[in-house]
Amino acid sequence: MSARLAPVLDRIDSDLDPALNRLLQLMRIKSISTDPAYKADCAAAADLLVADLKSIGIDAQSYETPGHPMVMGHIDGPKNAKTPHLVFYGHYDVQPIDPIELWNKDPFDPSIEDTAKGQVIRGRGSSDDKGQLMTFIEACRAWMAIHGELPCEITFFFEGEEESGSPSLVPFMKEHADKLKGDVALICDTGLFGHDTPAIVTMLRGLMGEEIVITAAEKDLHSGMFGGIARNPIRVLTSILAGLHDDTGRVTLPDFYEGVPELSEDLRNQWQALNFKPEQFLGEVGLHIPAGEEGKTGLQMIWSEPTLEFNGITGGYTGKGFKTVLPSQASVKLSARLVGDQDPHKIRASLHAYVKANLPEDCSVEFHPHGASRASVMETTHPAFEQARQALSDEWPNEAAFIGCGGSIPIAGHFKRIVGVDALLAGFGRDDDQIHSPNEKYDLECFHKGIRSWARVLDAVSQG
């Protein structure tokens, strides 16, 4: 450990209670971004963050947008030092609290609770993302308290619309691209891999969504009169959908796997070491058999292999009881998670061609596209990535790993495409944090070690 880091870590330990109080103060603000009723609360949260950054000595202000304010702060690093410019992203808005009756306490009256698994910070936003955002601010505060400056140039960037689709994000980033153009973007909105294993997400899957509506007869028919002779669109649809995967679980669409890379030996070994147990992962939701393509590991199925999933299907009578209707229409919403260089537009075209080729001559089909984004694979060549991985490994019981993420985190792609900066996604949430659900919590240990982790990362990446 470097001589300059040890006193910072000590300061973090001794300042934990005040740090917690600052987080609880932020959590008391009802910054639900999706509900216009909480517009003033969102502004209040932004203002609190501006004040808090200023209290550390950071030049900060909030920026109005058509939606909720953005917060930006900036501080220079040591003069003449060859240290990187870091841009830190987090979001101060939170999910709605419905269904409120499932909360054991007021979601906006947070507190520290003792549980069988240790102490937790309970309340909306504790893990997503106020608690995570504050880990970085607290690390900076401790560093400033000890050294009177930060070890490198840092731009702070907090959004208030992450839970409501980020309508203002892209225009704002374009307008302020010069300020956001650091060397590496740090994003703290992800989790640990397993209980004690920190992780840096370097692969995010892309998405291609499509709704397919098949029409047979012009109107719903009586199955007594027409059943047997008239085309049933549910039968047409189910037959088409059933043909999209083969018996091994592989997607059958032509060209679907174009651009899917082989997993590198390096990542394969790192992932092997993570000792992921699919039965345990699936056991949490009542399943136990990995349902992906035969011959792939569980982590490949969720991180590095594409999927084609049916998200919704409907047709005919779906109410209570029974109607012997022979429906006019049936439809499906489906989405492909993409990896590597898969091209969502090419896959959409292949899907259209397949559906049309399998459509009976007297049926028609409508397609409604719903999003198309390529997978993000972070360039991890900047030395900060390996330095951060080492720093995280030093703080936690297990070695940190570069991992994948099955979902998509748009901000990472925005940093790459709008500002040209690779994002380093590290966070300290745990799987049982119940984000987006009632009784959200953040482990006190995660908050504490999260702050210490960022102090270590600041130290590691700014050795100069």
Q: Which is nearer to its own copies, 112 or 230 (CB)?
A: 230
Angle, CA 396 vertex, CA 452 and CA 389 arms, to 5°: 85
In the numeric block, the tokens 């006190």 are attached to 444
Among 69, 290, 427, 450, binds its own copies (CB under 8 A): 290
CB of 219 to its own copies, least distance (A): 7
The C-alpha atoms of residue 299 and residue 426 are separated, in whole angstroms, by 18
CB of 91 to its own copies, least distance (A): 17
199 scored as a contact of its own copies (CB under 8 A) = no
In the numeric block, the tokens 């840096």 are attached to 200
The continuous run of DSSP H or E covering 221 comes out as strand 221-222
The C-alpha atoms of residue 237 and residue 315 are separated, in whole angstroms, by 10
CB of 136 to its own copies, least distance (A): 24
Among 62, 307, 342, 387, binds its own copies (CB under 8 A): 307
CB of 237 to its own copies, least distance (A): 8
CB of 452 to its own copies, least distance (A): 27
Q: Which is nearer to its own copies, 85 or 231 (CB)?
A: 231
Closest CA to 19 of 95, 171, 133, 170: 133
Q: How far is CA 171 from CA 161, 168, 414, 417, in A?
A: 13, 6, 11, 13
The DSSP code for 458 is H
160 scored as a contact of its own copies (CB under 8 A) = no
Stretch that binds its own copies, among 53-61, 147-155, 323-331, 451-459 (CB under 8 A): 323-331
Q: Measure CA of the first residue to CA of the last residue in the chain; give whole Å.
A: 15
165 scored as a contact of its own copies (CB under 8 A) = no
198 scored as a contact of its own copies (CB under 8 A) = no
335 scored as a contact of its own copies (CB under 8 A) = yes
Q: Which is nearer to its own copies, 301 or 349 (CB)?
A: 301
102 scored as a contact of its own copies (CB under 8 A) = no
Among 312, 397, 420, 464, binds its own copies (CB under 8 A): 312
Q: Are residues 335 and 205 in contact, defined by beta-carbon separation less than 8 angstroms?
A: no
Q: Which is nearer to its own copies, 179 or 231 (CB)?
A: 231
Neighbours of 381 (CB within 10 A): 9
Q: Are residues 193 and 274 in contact, defined by beta-carbon separation less than 8 angstroms?
A: yes
Q: Are residues 75 and 148 in contact, defined by beta-carbon separation less than 8 angstroms?
A: no
The answer for residues whose C-beta is within 8 angstroms of residue 114's C-beta and 6 or more apart is: none
274 scored as a contact of its own copies (CB under 8 A) = no
Closest CA to 186 of 125, 137, 124, 121: 137
Among 330, 375, 378, 419, binds its own copies (CB under 8 A): 330
285 scored as a contact of its own copies (CB under 8 A) = yes
Q: Are residues 180 and 292 in contact, defined by beta-carbon separation less than 8 angstroms?
A: no
- Residues 399-458, interacting with its own copies (CB under 8 A): 405-408
- Residues 202-261, interacting with its own copies (CB under 8 A): 205, 207, 209, 211, 216-219, 221-232, 234-235, 237-239, 241-243, 245
398 scored as a contact of its own copies (CB under 8 A) = no
CB of 18 to its own copies, least distance (A): 35
The C-alpha atoms of residue 387 and residue 400 are separated, in whole angstroms, by 11
DSSP string, 339-372: -TT--HHHHHHHHHHHHHHTS-TT-EEEEEEEEE
Q: Which is nearer to its own copies, 72 or 207 (CB)?
A: 207
How many residues make contact with its own copies (CB under 8 A)? 77
Q: Which is nearer to its own copies, 312 or 464 (CB)?
A: 312
Among 360, 397, 420, 464, binds its own copies (CB under 8 A): 360
75 scored as a contact of its own copies (CB under 8 A) = no
Question: Burial level of 289, CB count in 10 A (0-12/13-18/19+)?
Answer: exposed
Question: Burial level of 427, CB count in 10 A (0-12/13-18/19+)?
Answer: buried
Type of residue at 116 = A
- Residues 21-50, interacting with its own copies (CB under 8 A): none
287 scored as a contact of its own copies (CB under 8 A) = yes
In the structure encoding, which two tokens stand for residue 427, read together?
């966070």
282 scored as a contact of its own copies (CB under 8 A) = yes
161 scored as a contact of its own copies (CB under 8 A) = no
286 scored as a contact of its own copies (CB under 8 A) = yes
292 scored as a contact of its own copies (CB under 8 A) = yes
195 scored as a contact of its own copies (CB under 8 A) = no
